[in-house]
Chain A
Amino acid sequence: NAGVTQTPKFRVLKTGQSMTLLCAQDMNHEYMYWYRQDPGMGLRLIHYSVGEGTTAKGEVPDGYNVSRLKKQNFLLGLESAAPSQTSVYFCASTTAGEQFFGPGTRLTVL
């Protein structure tokens, strides 16, 4: 039982490059979330999903896209990375309140 896993753990991109962050959970949770964490800002919701095949925008969705083709996976895509997207990205899942977080992906965009 791995909980919530994220890949990769670290990544450095150049401005304009694209990448996909993968989140996987093995707890059969319906809800999944992508957050970004910046110094002094807590966690801000990027996109979330209330079930397989559904996605919705959070507080800061611009520049990101997501997909939830399988219940256990939630993918976050950056089509054209910008330095403002340098951050630590956390995925979380829940079924009834308590969110379980992954270990995070540290992304630097040069």
Chain B
Amino acid sequence: TQLLEQSPQFLSIQEGENLTVYCNSSSVFSSLQWYRQEPGEGPVLLVTVVTGGEVKKLKRLTFQFGDARKDSSLHITAAQPGDTGLYLCAGQGGFNKFYFGSGTKLNVKP
């Protein structure tokens, strides 16, 4: 059983479209991270959100942490082919342990 549920699992969109990826849990985390992973490589950190209700922006990417620190969303505006990849959320628990969601595989077609 995954502690963190991500949706959707797969997303295929045209360049220029907007999209939102969700990461939900019944557990409270001290922080939540979003990673992007490309084929054949390890995940790379995009952002860490710590405070309930926090919103962070990274160019065309907007990340939000739920008020109760149980869920998060990633919104991409005007997606580009370079955004293609696997997006993973990870919740930080005790002893600096991290629990990953199952991932959202995004494909942005030119």
Contact = CB atoms under 8 A, between A and B. Distances in A.
Contact of A43 (B9, B31, B88, B92): B88
B48 interface: yes
B29 to A, nearest CB: 12
A41 B102 contact: yes
Interface residues of B, number: 25
Given A42-B88, A42-B103, A97-B48, A102 B97 contact: no
A42 B100 contact: yes
Contact of B92 (A40, A42, A97, A101): A97
Given A90-B42, A97-B33, A43 B100 contact: yes
Contact of B9 (A40, A92, A102): A40
B102 A42 contact: yes
B45 interface: yes
Interface string A6-29: 000000000000000000000000
Contacts of A103: 40-42
A77 interface: no
B28 interface: no
Contacts, number: 59
B43 interface: yes
Interface in B67-110: 88, 90, 92, 95-103
B2 A42 contact: yes
A31 interface: yes
B45 A99 contact: yes
A101 B100 contact: no
B102 A101 contact: no
A33 B98 contact: yes
B43 A43 contact: yes
Interface of A: 4, 31, 33, 35, 40-45, 48, 50, 56, 58-59, 90, 92, 94, 97-99, 101-104
6 contacts: A43-B100, A99-B33, A99-B90, A101-B44, A102-B42, A103-B42
